[in-house]
Amino acid sequence: MQTTTQLSTTDGARIAKRLLNHWKHKFEVQHNEQHMLILMPDYTVTLTPQAACLEVQIAGQIEDFSHIQKVVIDHLNRMGHTEFGVTWHEKRG
């Protein structure tokens, strides 16, 4: 399963990089020109900065994403010094 959201920001690359640097001491991270990945034991968080938003995807083999969604958004709010409005979209399969 996966869950995704788009955070409205023109500062997505900086916010994503800050989160990657914050979590690289605890989890394996990877990045290329388009995506930044945070590889947690039960989830993979993919951050994709765009011109006007930051796309956030969380994938894992679980049924309830509510806890990890809150953790990721709380951290992104801190990294961006803002309070993002969030609507998550879940996809099974």
CB 84 within 8 A of CB 73: yes
Question: Which range marks the domain in which residue 48 is found?
Answer: 2-91
25 against 93, higher pLDDT: 25
Q: What is the pLDDT of residues 73-93, one digit of tens each?
A: 999 999 999 999 999 999 876
User: Tokens representing 83?
Assistant: 């309070």
Q: What is the pLDDT of residues 31-76, one digit of tens each?
A: 998 999 999 999 999 999 999 999 999 999 888 899 999 999 999 9
How many domains are contained in the chain?
1
Q: Which residue type, as a one-letter code, is found at position 24?
A: K
Non-local (6+) Cβ contacts of 91 within 8 A are: 1, 2, 3, 4
Q: CATH number of the domain that 57 lies in?
A: 3.30.310.50
